[in-house]
Amino acid sequence: MRYDSVTDIIGDTPLVRIDEAVHGLRHIDLYAKMELYNPFGSVKDRAAWNMVRHRLADAADRGDTVVELSSGNTAKALAVIAGMHGLAFRSVTNRMRIPEVKDLLLLLGAQIDELPGRSECLDPADTDDPLTRMYHTVSAAGGGYLHTDQYFNDLNVQAHLRGTGPEIIADLGGRAPDYFIACVGTAGSSTGVARALRRHDPNVTVVGLVAGKSDFIPGIRDIDEVHEVGLFDPQVYDTIEAVSSDEAIDGLLTLVRRCGTLAGPTGGGAYQGAVRYLRGVDAELTERRTAVFIVCDRVESYLSYLRERRPELFRQPARAHSVRTLTGDELAAARTVDVAGAREWIEQEQPLIVDLRSPFAYRALHLDGSVNIVDDLFEEMLRGGLPFSRRRPVLLVCPVGEKSARYAALLTRMGHPDARSLSGGVIAWRDAGAELVRD
Amino acid sequence: MAPSLQPRVDGDLRSILDSHDTLHRMVDTLGSPLNLVLPDRLAGNVRDFETTLRAYDLGGTVYFAHKANRSSALVRALATTGAGIDVASLGELQHALGAGLGPARIMATGPKSREFLWLAARTGVTVGADSVPELAELAGMVAAHGLPRVRVMARLSGFASTGTTVLSRASRFGVPVSDLDPLWAVLDEHRDQLDFHGAAYHLDTNGLPEKAAALEGCLEAMAEAQRRGLSPRAIDVGGGFGVNYLADSREWEAWTTELTGAVLGQRPPITWDGHGYGLRNEGGRLRGVLAVYPAYRAVAGPAYLDRLLATASTAHRRPLGSLVLDNLYDLHLEPGRALLDQCGAVLTRVEEVRDGLVRVAANSNDVALEAHGVLMDPILVPRGEPRPDDGPVGVHLAGNLCLEADLITRRRVPLPRPPRAGDLLVFANTAGYLMDFSAGSALMQPTARTVAAWRHGGDWRWCLDERYWPVTGREETG
């Protein structure tokens, strides 16, 4: 397979059958439309490319910036495409909640503008939200922007009406599936595919999935937010159901662990929502039916999302030499020294002074002659054993003497004979009028 | 039936609002509207914030933002705690001094008259300055009148963010961090008059990323101050910690969904005249933004502070709370609304009921739910026994001004039974900004008196706000 441009790879994704042993539906063949196979990693590659392909040449001549309201896959695809054509890309968002996606967009050279939060002292007369203002700026003709406008742009729907939908029909041997289940974000893919399928067979049942309010699944809108979407038309869906982030993660785990499909949470939500809906249908069926859902993107970008919600999935082996494993007795036995005692001790024995605060704070003011090893790093170093000689006494300092006492206890447990903590910390040192320096 | 938004009411506030006879006696004696405050609860709220600070080993003072309520009882009760007070006018400063808060516990903020600035300097309170010219004026006044050196904090604004661009509403207040040279110059020139205590921000937002960027910006400014030989000691993170007004998140979610449906014409209106609270219907699409306070907040008050301090600095990859502590700074805060959570209620008497409209003896300036966009149901306190056939109703609430716009709330509110003249409608948890912030005497209607109530054994005792002192009626405790 040889291509002249990576954008030629967009689309023509595989349709893969999910094993009946996994979903347990007796009369339904369930297929996953593998949109994660697109070159930039998601279903949004189709819409992004379709919305800009005819406008890139003019935009490049004018030096326009591509701009979109997106916190995820559309931004990713547009950033790549803009970069390929020498254009800048700016993403405006109020929901940049996935750190990996944020970092990836920065890596791709995107500028990300995060919209302000809600006013705490409300001005009810101000109903012109920052988003609306931004919209006016980028939509003005000759303003230097190519605004793709994914929530209102019919080219978003067309990408799926001409691409995704017909591909599904072709892969099912010229038949539309009986059921099509999709998560609703911009409503572009669900609307486009639904129209294509119904042109072929008006009896297709279309299920739209939205997120529960106050819940968060990347790429899915909640039942109120969908009404803000220009492409959303309730008539497209036979039914709209809510899917929770918990269900989305359950679905993701099933796809990832049992189906060899490295799907993100949106794909997981679509799978789980599909199986939940179809289970009710399946019980009534006597003949075979087919159903298709969309796997929007890949799992790798959502590790911190998953870690936050299911920390038990990331269980780590217990770490050696950790302050978290100290017992109350060990802590109570930690040696401490007060400010007056410490000054004398420093004078007489020149202990190694380790300042556990951040380098930023250390730079500003510290005890003369101290070395700065921030606590996170110090803990990392101790995993390998004592990083200094047992013969050299050590004075540990932190802001109030709390962390330093823990590390003194840990060093003692590790066999250091004279590790002490400055009680009251640098604050007590300062308040006693002892000298602090900056280099 | 109107979808309900039941207020979150707990502890002492729940207990006194259940004492129907006491409430009726108060209104019979002092009229409607009547403000009720619970000074002891304020002390508990101060402790909750202090506990969060201590969990990060941070020193610092909780300054109550006086503007949120005018009550003397609350300020006098505050004087018994470890908290300070943030005053924003000459009157508030005099009030705080008179309530027993010493100058070391007072911070003067906001736009300042010459007289306010002078009394602040004369008494030796900390001045939170909004601008470089204000600092210059203060220094000039200190020099001219031979006043002692004044402790000052500088409010900063226009914070930059790293990585992404965190947008923020433009503010009229504060020195822009993009050019702090004039600040350093005025502090340097007036070393003998101005004692630089640290940097401050106060952002009108509930957006955590904006506040994190601001706190980080203050840390950078403090480091710059140290490089210039100043010894700043504290960062003031202002207020805006928020209150959760509702008992049940599901009611908030359901109500906002119903409003969306009503605006789109999918269901009958749930507001006066189909008011959309900022939402509008444009060709079947929802436009605009819901311009109300987020009445249900899962994270508010001390929990919000905790969330802020646990947020990692993008530049230093370390929690902001640890960075403040590492630098040996105190952390000051100025909560208003959050400190007054569960500290009071506004009592109103029903005057007339007709055609689904209930008129109370109070207006929308006395119960400022609409002005502040806070949506929650009143509590019906009946006089006498209900009739057996009385069932739940949805009603609109009108005020006592002859203005079409004088509605206590534009929501239609559910009540457990039809109210009758003489019943009370109680607006709970309104001590912060919703009680007397904008109260006036339009049409020469009476303004609310305020009573302070406190527990005495199993009973409630109460007195007029101006007669409350922390020792009043508690002689037996010494």
User: Residue B447 sits in a domain of what CATH number?
Assistant: 2.40.37.10
Q: Bin B34: left if φ > 0, else alpha if -120 < ψ < 50, else beta.
A: beta
Tell whether A203 is within 8 A of chain B (Cβ): no
Q: Examine the pLDDT at A128 and tell me if it is beyond 60.
A: no
Tell whether A133 is within 8 A of chain B (Cβ): no
Residue range A168-194: mean pLDDT, rounded: 96
Rounded to an integer, what distance in angstroms lies between the CA atom of residue A118 and that of residue B38? Answer: 29
In chain B, what percentage of residues exceed pLDDT 90?
82
Q: Are A4 and A133 in the same domain?
A: yes
How close is the nearest chain B Cα to the Cα of A395, in Å? Answer: 17
Q: Are B121 and B198 in the same domain?
A: yes
Number of domains within chain A: 2
Confidence of residue B1 (pLDDT cuts 50, 70, 90): low
Confidence of residue A319 (pLDDT cuts 50, 70, 90): low
Q: Are A119 and A59 in the same domain?
A: yes
Tell whether A374 is within 8 A of chain B (Cβ): yes
Confidence of residue A216 (pLDDT cuts 50, 70, 90): confident
Number of domains within chain B: 3
Q: What is the pLDDT of residue B72?
A: 98
Residue range B199-205: mean pLDDT, rounded: 91
Question: Which of B307, B324, B340 is the endpoint of a domain?
Answer: B340
How close is the nearest chain B Cα to the Cα of A121, in Å? Answer: 6
Chain B contacts of A213, Cβ < 8 Å? 253, 256-257
Rounded to the nearest 10°, the torsion over CA A34, A40, A46, A47 is: 120
Q: What is the pLDDT of residue B167?
A: 76
Q: Examine the pLDDT at B215 and tell me if it is beyond 80.
A: yes
Q: Are A257 and A362 in the same domain?
A: no
Q: Are A249 and A291 in the same domain?
A: yes
How close is the nearest chain B Cα to the Cα of A182, in Å? Answer: 21
Confidence of residue A122 (pLDDT cuts 50, 70, 90): low
Helices (H) and strands (E) in chain B, counts: 13, 21
The string of DSSP codes covering A204-226 is: -EEEEEEEPTT---TT--BTTGG
Q: Examine the pLDDT at A95 and tell me if it is beyond 70.
A: no
Q: Are B204 and A119 in contact (CB < 8 Å)?
A: yes
Angle at B250 between CA B247 and CA B251, to 5 degrees: 65
- Domain holding B27, by residue range, is 11-38+342-477
Asked, for residue A140, whether it belongs to a domain, the answer is: yes
Query: Pick from B149, B74, B158, B101: which is nearest to B336 by CA?
Result: B74
Q: Are A328 and A299 in the same domain?
A: no
A91 three-class SS: strand
Asked, for residue A439, whether it belongs to a domain, the answer is: no
Chain A contacts of B322, Cβ < 8 Å? 358
Chain A contacts of B223, Cβ < 8 Å? 360, 363-364
Asked, for residue A437, whether it belongs to a domain, the answer is: no
Q: Are B23 and B69 in the same domain?
A: no
Chain A contacts of B373, Cβ < 8 Å? 122, 124
How close is the nearest chain A Cα to the Cα of B8, in Å? Answer: 18
Tell whether A235 is within 8 A of chain B (Cβ): no
Q: What is the pLDDT of residue B289?
A: 83
Q: What is the pLDDT of residue A69?
A: 86
Q: What is the pLDDT of residue B207?
A: 86
Q: Are A287 and A332 in the same domain?
A: no
Q: Which of A227, A244, A402 to mutate to test the interface with B (most CBs of B within 10 A)?
A: A227
Q: What is the pLDDT of residue A436?
A: 94
CATH code, domain with A414: 3.40.250.10
More confident residue, A80 or B286: A80
How close is the nearest chain A Cα to the Cα of B209, in Å? Answer: 8
What chain B residue is nearest to A364 in terms of C-alpha separation?
A: B223
Q: Are A286 and A355 in the same domain?
A: no
Judged by average pLDDT, the poorest of A369-378, B28-37, B277-286 is B277-286
Question: Which of B307, B340, B373 is the endpoint of a domain?
Answer: B340
Judged by average pLDDT, the poorest of A134-143, A362-371, B247-256, B259-268 is A134-143
Residues 6 or more apart whose Cβ sits within 8 Å of residue B223: A360, A363, A364, B327
Q: Which of B53, B109, B164 to mutate to test the interface with A (most CBs of A within 10 A)?
A: B164
How close is the nearest chain A Cα to the Cα of B14, in Å? Answer: 26
Asked, for residue A211, whether it belongs to a domain, the answer is: yes
Q: Are B300 and B272 in the same domain?
A: no
Pair A209, A245: CB distance under 8 Å? no
Chain B contacts of A102, Cβ < 8 Å? 163-164
Residue range A170-198: mean pLDDT, rounded: 96
User: pLDDT tens-digit profile of B426-445?
Assistant: 999 999 999 988 888 888 88
Q: Are B164 and A113 in contact (CB < 8 Å)?
A: yes
Q: Are B163 and A112 in contact (CB < 8 Å)?
A: yes
**Residue A72 phi/psi, 5° resolution?**
-150, -120
Q: Examine the pLDDT at B214 and tell me if it is beyond 80.
A: yes
Q: Examine the pLDDT at A129 and tell me if it is beyond 70.
A: no
Q: Are B331 and B440 in the same domain?
A: no
For the record, the structure tokens of A386 come out as 């004592």
Q: Are B334 and B387 in the same domain?
A: no
Q: Are A338 and A291 in the same domain?
A: no
In chain A, what percentage of residues exceed pLDDT 70?
95
Confidence of residue B476 (pLDDT cuts 50, 70, 90): low
Q: What is the pLDDT of residue B285?
A: 81
Chain A contacts of B256, Cβ < 8 Å? 213, 224
How close is the nearest chain B Cα to the Cα of A92, in Å? Answer: 9
Chain A contacts of B285, Cβ < 8 Å? 227-230
Pair A394, A367: CB distance under 8 Å? no
More confident residue, A226 or B448: B448
Nearest to B167 among A116, A118, A124 (CB): A116
The single residue listed with the structure tokens 């200094």 is: A388
Judged by average pLDDT, the poorest of B54-68, B242-256, B437-451 is B437-451
Q: Are B278 and A400 in contact (CB < 8 Å)?
A: no
Confidence of residue A131 (pLDDT cuts 50, 70, 90): low
Q: Are B268 and B354 in the same domain?
A: no
Instruction: Give the dihedral sign, CA A175/A180/A183/A184.
Output: positive
Nearest to A122 among B164, B226, B293 (CB): B293
CATH code, domain with A301: 3.40.50.1100
Q: What is the pLDDT of residue A317?
A: 63
Q: What ipTM describes this predicted complex?
A: 0.76
Q: What is the pLDDT of residue A125?
A: 58
Q: Are B263 and B165 in the same domain?
A: no
Q: Are B271 and B300 in the same domain?
A: no
Q: What is the pLDDT of residue B79?
A: 98
Asked, for residue B229, whether it belongs to a domain, the answer is: yes
Q: Are B132 and B30 in the same domain?
A: no
Q: Are B88 and B44 in the same domain?
A: yes
Residue range B149-177: mean pLDDT, rounded: 86
Q: Are B285 and A129 in contact (CB < 8 Å)?
A: no
Q: Are A310 and A327 in the same domain?
A: no
Name the strand (E) or helix (H) holding B82. none
How close is the nearest chain A Cα to the Cα of B144, in Å? Answer: 33
The string of DSSP codes covering B137-205 is: HHHHHHHHHTPPPEEEEEEEE----SSSEE-----SSSEETT--HHHHHHHHHTTTTEEEEEEE---S-
How close is the nearest chain B Cα to the Cα of A118, in Å? Answer: 5
Asked, for residue A436, whether it belongs to a domain, the answer is: no
Q: Examine the pLDDT at A94 and tell me if it is beyond 90.
A: no
Asked, for residue B63, whether it belongs to a domain, the answer is: yes
Confidence of residue B380 (pLDDT cuts 50, 70, 90): very high
Tell whether A111 is within 8 A of chain B (Cβ): yes
User: pLDDT tens-digit profile of A412-424?
Assistant: 999 999 999 999 9
How many C-alpha atoms does A5 have within 13 Å on its Cβ side? 9
Tell whether A361 is within 8 A of chain B (Cβ): yes
CB pairs under 8 A between A and B: 139
- Per-chain mean pLDDT for chain B: 94
Asked, for residue B4, whether it belongs to a domain, the answer is: no
Q: Are A246 and A375 in the same domain?
A: no
Q: Examine the pLDDT at B477 and tell me if it is beyond 70.
A: no
Q: Which of A102, A119, A437 to mutate to test the interface with B (most CBs of B within 10 A)?
A: A119
Nearest to A120 among B219, B240, B371 (CB): B240
Q: Are B164 and A376 in contact (CB < 8 Å)?
A: no
Q: Are A247 and A352 in the same domain?
A: no
Q: Are B78 and B164 in the same domain?
A: yes
Q: What is the pLDDT of residue B316?
A: 87
Q: Are A137 and A202 in the same domain?
A: yes
Cβ neighbour number for residue B79 with a 10 Å cutoff: 18
Question: Which of A315, A344, A363 is the endpoint of a domain?
Answer: A315
How close is the nearest chain A Cα to the Cα of B300, in Å? Answer: 11
Pair B412, B2: CB distance under 8 Å? yes
Q: What is the pLDDT of residue B315?
A: 84
Question: Which of B340, B368, B403 is the endpoint of a domain?
Answer: B340
In chain B, what percentage of residues exceed pLDDT 70?
99
Judged by average pLDDT, the poorest of A47-56, A271-280, A374-383, B5-14 is A374-383
Residue range A50-71: mean pLDDT, rounded: 92
Asked, for residue A265, whether it belongs to a domain, the answer is: yes
Asked, for residue B122, whether it belongs to a domain, the answer is: yes
Q: What is the pLDDT of residue A127?
A: 52
Rounded to an integer, what distance in angstroms lies between the CA atom of residue A229 and that of residue B151? Answer: 53
Asked, for residue B95, whether it belongs to a domain, the answer is: yes
What chain A residue is nearest to B224 in terms of C-alpha separation?
A: A364
Asked, for residue A37, whether it belongs to a domain, the answer is: yes
Cβ neighbour number for residue B6 with a 10 Å cutoff: 15
Q: What is the pLDDT of residue A318?
A: 65
Q: Are B371 and A124 in contact (CB < 8 Å)?
A: yes
Question: Which of A272, A297, A315 is the endpoint of a domain?
Answer: A315
Tell whether A21 is within 8 A of chain B (Cβ): no
Q: What is the CA radius of gyration of chain B?
A: 24
Nearest to B264 among A119, A131, A227 (CB): A227
Query: Would you give the DSSP letter of residue B262?
Result: H
Asked, for residue B1, whether it belongs to a domain, the answer is: no
How many C-alpha atoms does B149 have within 13 Å on its Cβ side? 10
Confidence of residue B170 (pLDDT cuts 50, 70, 90): confident
User: pLDDT tens-digit profile of B90-111?
Assistant: 999 999 999 999 999 999 999 9
Q: Are B288 and A426 in contact (CB < 8 Å)?
A: no
Judged by average pLDDT, the poorest of A397-401, B265-269, B441-445 is B441-445
Q: Are A361 and B165 in contact (CB < 8 Å)?
A: no
Identify residue A307 by its one-letter amino acid code. R
Nearest to A228 among B208, B286, B327 (CB): B286
User: pLDDT tens-digit profile of A326-360?
Assistant: 899 999 999 999 999 999 999 999 999 999 999 99
Residues 6 or more apart whose Cβ sits within 8 Å of residue A213: A222, A223, A224, B253, B256, B257
Q: Are B176 and B194 in the same domain?
A: yes
Confidence of residue A92 (pLDDT cuts 50, 70, 90): confident
User: pLDDT tens-digit profile of B294-342?
Assistant: 999 999 999 999 999 999 998 888 999 999 999 999 999 999 999 999 9
How close is the nearest chain A Cα to the Cα of B262, in Å? Answer: 12
Tell whether A51 is within 8 A of chain B (Cβ): no
Rounded to an integer, what distance in angstroms lies between the CA atom of residue B14 and that of residue B279? Answer: 34
Pair A274, A280: CB distance under 8 Å? no
How close is the nearest chain B Cα to the Cα of A366, in Å? Answer: 10
Chain A contacts of B334, Cβ < 8 Å? none
- Domain holding A334, by residue range, is 323-431
Q: What is the pLDDT of residue B405?
A: 86
Q: Are B325 and A230 in contact (CB < 8 Å)?
A: no
Asked, for residue A44, whether it belongs to a domain, the answer is: yes
The shares of helix, strand and coil residues in chain B, as percent rounded to the nearest 5, are: 35, 25, 45
Cβ neighbour number for residue B69 with a 10 Å cutoff: 29
Confidence of residue A121 (pLDDT cuts 50, 70, 90): low
